[in-house]
Every structure is written in structure tokens, then in C-alpha cells.
């Protein structure tokens, strides 16, 4: 029975039914890693012995009709930003090279409680704070579609491992497109959940001892099919199990009954961040598929927000989160740069420094701006069920590890653009805490994957996933990179 690119939850059903052995499935993925991982470096740590012991136990339990849960005996990898009990968790941070957590992150534990076997970790950038996955401990992860290109970040190793068939399911995190951009770059599905729907407790950063949920940052599954996204989200959703967390309302059902009742807004390109023509064309093609299914499609609808102002607001809040633990000398340097700058300077570099230097009263001002943005989005989604827009404005680009991100550039339609523009479409929906499902749409003329994000109102996760399922069925399902479907 085939294992490669099977649904993780389908594998669990076959293991519980005795049609597959958990040991066989684990050995299959270990063999795949031995064969393909040297070329892409997606899986950076293994826990083979303990995983094999748990796989043997899973098979024994299945033989005795003991059901561990919907992921019974399924081996999977985990993004190396999530704490994994007994398995080294580096998070791209040199000082953590030997850190072995004593317990799992809350989200990881939910997967384990559902029967999953965590057998390895996938690569991330330093502190999960880049759009490419490389660090001085585990080096660079390549894109399986073209090893000269990045797999994205920060869930880059996770997406590359899925695309190359090294794991059937992954757990990602997203504060700047870190689920959606790697999904787009590698041709897989990913879901950035509504803010606080999935606990980030035990994620690096902010750290294994931190109890509060970091602003903006969200979690979610990556997979090769929508069914796995939906079932994984059901397992992962919910606050940390203690008094510091507060429950969210149950997720509502999709906001439309069938395609004929679906209201779709399309935002395929914009002057605030011009999009590669091939991406805009693929988004328009997906919109046309939904239109042919009977959906009402509006290509001119926009929320009542200024996207550039939203980006500036998002970038400052983002940097206040990322910069929370920077040394005092870095914070003082940021303060000095802001004080010396022209008050009208809206450059990316200065906005980042403003975020790092931000005091609480300034954060309150920025948060108030963000809340007005959230109200505008909520009004928009009274008239539309979903918005289709880019995950990023470019396909996977060539590796560029210049230590100064501001010195990096990316060519878009033949024009060089700042590297950090990759954050603009990701932040468009993230800043308002909106859920977004990344779906593959096809490839460029030179064979690079293209995807898009499907966004909806806060807690509209099931709506974005329902539209993703329509597109998976009628437009494009997951397609492996050439050479990996063996």
C-alpha cells in the first residue's frame, strides 16, 4: 500500500485497521530522508530510537484494538521552533544548540496526545526571524523545486520536507508569513489560524518558560491536502490548559452553503506592493474557477484601509514583538536612530527601529490604529466570505544571506525591490488577526510553485478551508516537485 504523499490521517486509519504498520511507515520516511534530505537539508535532527519504540507500541496497541487517536502511529516532523520533549530544540539560536526541552510545547503535545510520533525536527532561520531558512547550527535549507532557491522562512524546513515527501504533516508558526510564504514557495497547503486559536506556549521565541501569548504570532498545520489541515486544526485549537489562558468561542461553520452562495473578493495586485505577473495570473485563474462553479466574484472590492499605512502599523508592532528581548545596547541604538531621523522618514529600516525602540505609550497608539483596521476588515467581510490575495509578491528567489537584510533586494517583473517587501502581503491579513489558508495554484514558466492566501473574518478558519477544498478539488491539488514522486 502506498505511503508517499498520503494523508496523515488516512495513514492513521490504515495503521489502526492493521493495513499498515507504524514501524513500516516510520522506516519509509527515514529511508526517504536518507535518500533526499542531503540535497535539501530540511530535516535537521532525528529521534530515531525513541520513535521506533513508540511505533512498535502503536502497532501493539492497534493489534489489541486500542485507539490512540486520529493520528495513531503516524510519524511526523516538527518545525524546530517548537519545544519537543527529549529532542534537541535549537530554533536557529546558537546558544540553544544543546537545548533539550523537558516537555513538549502545548501544540506539540496535542499532536502526541492524538497518537502522533515525533521523529525529527525541520530547519528554521535564526530565531525564526527571516524569510529564508538558514542558521549557523544547521546551515541552509534548499527548495526541492530548485535547490538554488530558498524554501522560505520561517517554516521553510517544514514546507520543504512536506513537498519532498519526508513527512506527512507539519506544525508551523507565522508572524510574518512564516506558514504562508513557505507553502507558496514549495507548493504545499498551509493554514495560519486566527490569532490565539492555537496556543504558542513552548515556542522559541519567546521561550520555553514564557506563559503569555506573543502578539501577532499564530500557529497552524502544513500538509499536502486540505483534509489534513482541517483535521489537524481541530486537534490543535484551544488555549493552553491553565488559568493564564482564556477560551475562544467555537469556530463557526463555513459562511456559505455551496459555491453558488460564495462571495469572493480578489486582490491580485496593488501599487503598494507590485506582484510578479505569474502570481497575479494564477490568482485570477483560481478566481475564474470559483466563478465557473457559481461563486460571485468581485475583482474591485477592497476593505476601507490604506494597505501601505497598514504595513507601517504592522511593521512597528512586529518589531516591538521581535525586539522584546534584544540587549539594551541594541534598544538604545534604535532610540538614537529614531531621534536623529527626519520625522517624515517612513523607510522600512527606520520603521523597524521605531518598533524596537517603542515604549508602551507608543504601542498603545499603534494598537489603536490596528483595532480600527480590524473593524474595517469585519465590515468588509459582511459583504464577502473570503478574499483571495498573494502570500508573497514573488515566487521562491535565489538564496541571499547578506547579514544586512536592508542590503538584500528581490527582482519583481524586472525591477529591484527591497527584500522586506515580502512582508507586505503577509502583514496585510495578519495585522488584523485574520485566518488565512495558503493553497498551491500551479507553477511559473521556469517551474517554480505559485500559491495564494485565502483570508476571511476573524475565526472564519472553516470558511477559508472550505474554499481551499473547492480549489483543491476543481483547480489544483498538491503536485510533487519533479524527481520526488518515486
Cα 115 from Cα 180, distance rounded (Å) = 26
Query: Is 12 in the same domain as 105?
Result: yes
Predicted local confidence at residue 242, as pLDDT: 82
Is 393 inside a domain boundary?
no
Predicted local confidence at residue 355, as pLDDT: 87
Predicted local confidence at residue 398, as pLDDT: 98
Neighbours of 179 (CB within 10 A): 35
Set of cell numbers at residue 442: 500551479
Query: Is 227 in the same domain as 342?
Result: no
Q: Give the H or E element holding residue 174.
A: strand 170-174
Is 379 inside a domain boundary?
no
Which SS3 state, helix, strand or coil, does residue 365 take?
helix
Cis peptide before 326 (omega within 30 of 0): no
Q: Give the H or E element holding residue 372.
A: helix 360-380
Last residue of a domain, one of 185, 214, 236: 236
Query: Is 200 in the same domain as 94?
Result: yes
pLDDT in tens, 132-176: 999 999 999 999 999 999 999 999 999 999 999 999 999 999 999
Domain enclosing residue 337, as ranges: 309-368
What's the CATH number where 122 sits?
3.90.1300.10
Q: What is the DSSP letter of 98?
A: T
Question: pLDDT below 50 — which residues of the chain?
Answer: none
Is 364 inside a domain boundary?
yes
Query: Is 226 in the same domain as 339?
Result: no
**Domain count of the chain?**
2
Set of cell numbers at residue 145: 523545486
Last residue of a domain, one of 321, 353, 368: 368
Last residue of a domain, one of 187, 209, 236: 236
Query: Is 66 in the same domain as 175?
Result: yes
β-strands 139-140, 189-192 pairing:
unpaired
Cα 239 from Cα 106, distance rounded (Å) = 9
- Which residues 6+ apart lie within 8 Å of 147 measured at CB? 39, 40
Predicted local confidence at residue 32, as pLDDT: 98
Query: Is 203 in the same domain as 352?
Result: no
Predicted local confidence at residue 341, as pLDDT: 87
Is the torsion defined by CA of 215, 221, 227, 231 positive or negative? negative
Query: Is 41 in the same domain as 153?
Result: yes
pLDDT in tens, 205-224: 998 889 888 999 999 999 99
Is the torsion defined by CA of 183, 189, 190, 193 positive or negative? positive
Predicted local confidence at residue 405, as pLDDT: 93
Predicted local confidence at residue 114, as pLDDT: 98
Amino acid at each position: 500500500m502506498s505511503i508517499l504523499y498520503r494523508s496523515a490521517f488516512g495513514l492513521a486509519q490504515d495503521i489502526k485497521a492493521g493495513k499498515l504498520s507504524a514501524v513500516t511507515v516510520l522506516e519509509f520516511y527515514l529511508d526517504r530522508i536518507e535518500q533526499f534530505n542531503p540535497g535539501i537539508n530540511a530535516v535537521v535532527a532525528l529521534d530515531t530510537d525513541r520513535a521506533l519504540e513508540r511505533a512498535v507500541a502503536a502497532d501493539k496497541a492497534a493489534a489489541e484494538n486500542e485507539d490512540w487517536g486520529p493520528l495513531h502511529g503516524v510519524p511526523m516532523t516538527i518545525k524546530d521552533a517548537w519545544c519537543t520533549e527529549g529532542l534537541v530544540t535549537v530554533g536557529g539560536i546558537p546558544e540553544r544548540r544543546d537545548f533539550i526541552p523537558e516537555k513538549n510545547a502545548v501544540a506539540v503535545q496535542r499532536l502526541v496526545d492524538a497518537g502522533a510520533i515525533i521523529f525529527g525536527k525541520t530547519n528554521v532561520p535564526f530565531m525564526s526571524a527571516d524569510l529564508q531558512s538558514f542558521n549557523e547550527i544547521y546551515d541552509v535549507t534548499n527548495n526541492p523545486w530548485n535547490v538554488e532557491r530558498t524554501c522560505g522562512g520561517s517554516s521553510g524546513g517544514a514546507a520543504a520536507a512536506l513537498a519532498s515527501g519526508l513527512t506527512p504533516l507539519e506544525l508551523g508558526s507565522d508572524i510574518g508569513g512564516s506558514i504562508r510564504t513557505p507553502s507558496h514557495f514549495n507548493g504545499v497547503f498551509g493554514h495560519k489560524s486566527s490569532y490565539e486559536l492555537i496556543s504558542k506556549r513552548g515556542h522559541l521565541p519567546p521561550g520555553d518558560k514564557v506563559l503569555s501569548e506573543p502578539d501577532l504570532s499564530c500557529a497552524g498545520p502544513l500538509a499536502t491536502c486540505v483534509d489534513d489541515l482541517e483535521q489537524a486544526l481541530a486537534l490543535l485549537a484551544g488555549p493552553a490548559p491553565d488559568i493564564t489562558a482564556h477560551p475562544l468561542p467555537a469556530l463557526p461553520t463555513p459562511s456559505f452553503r455551496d459555491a453558488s452562495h460564495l462571495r469572493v473578493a480578489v486582490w491580485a495586485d496593488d501599487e503598494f506592493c507590485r506582484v510578479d505577473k505569474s502570481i497575479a495570473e494564477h490568482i485570477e485563474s483560481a478566481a475564474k474557477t470559483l466563478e465557473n462553479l457559481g461563486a460571485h466574484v468581485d475583482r474591485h472590492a477592497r476593505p476601507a484601509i490604506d494597505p501601505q499605512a497598514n504595513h507601517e502599523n504592522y511593521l512597528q508592532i512586529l518589531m516591538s514583538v521581535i525586539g522584546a528581548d534584544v540587549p539594551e545596547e541594541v534598544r538604545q541604538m534604535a532610540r538614537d536612530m529614531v531621534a536623529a531621523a527626519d520625522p517624515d522618514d517612513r523607510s522600512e529600516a527606520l520603521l523597524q527601529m521605531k518598533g524596537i525602540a517603542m515604549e508602551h505609550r507608543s504601542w498603545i497608539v499603534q494598537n489603536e490604529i490596528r483595532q480600527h483596521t480590524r473593524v474595517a476588515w469585519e465590515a468588509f467581510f459582511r459583504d464577502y466570505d473570503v478574499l483571495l490575495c498573494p502570500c508573497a509578491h514573488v515566487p521562491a528567489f535565489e538564496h541571499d544571506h547578506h547579514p544586512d537584510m536592508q542590503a538584500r533586494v528581490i527582482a519583481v517583473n524586472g525591477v529591484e525591490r527591497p527584500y522586506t517587501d515580502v512582508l507586505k502581503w503577509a502583514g496585510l491579513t495578519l495585522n488584523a488577526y485574520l485566518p488565512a489558508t495558503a493553497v498551491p495554484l500551479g507553477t511559473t514558466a521556469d517551474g517554480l510553485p505559485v500559491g495564494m492566501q485565502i483570508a476571511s473574518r476573524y475565526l472564519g478558519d472553516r470558511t477559508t478551508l472550505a474554499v481551499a477544498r473547492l480549489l483543491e478539488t476543481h483547480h489544483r491539488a498538491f503536485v510533487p516537485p519533479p524527481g520526488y514522486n518515486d
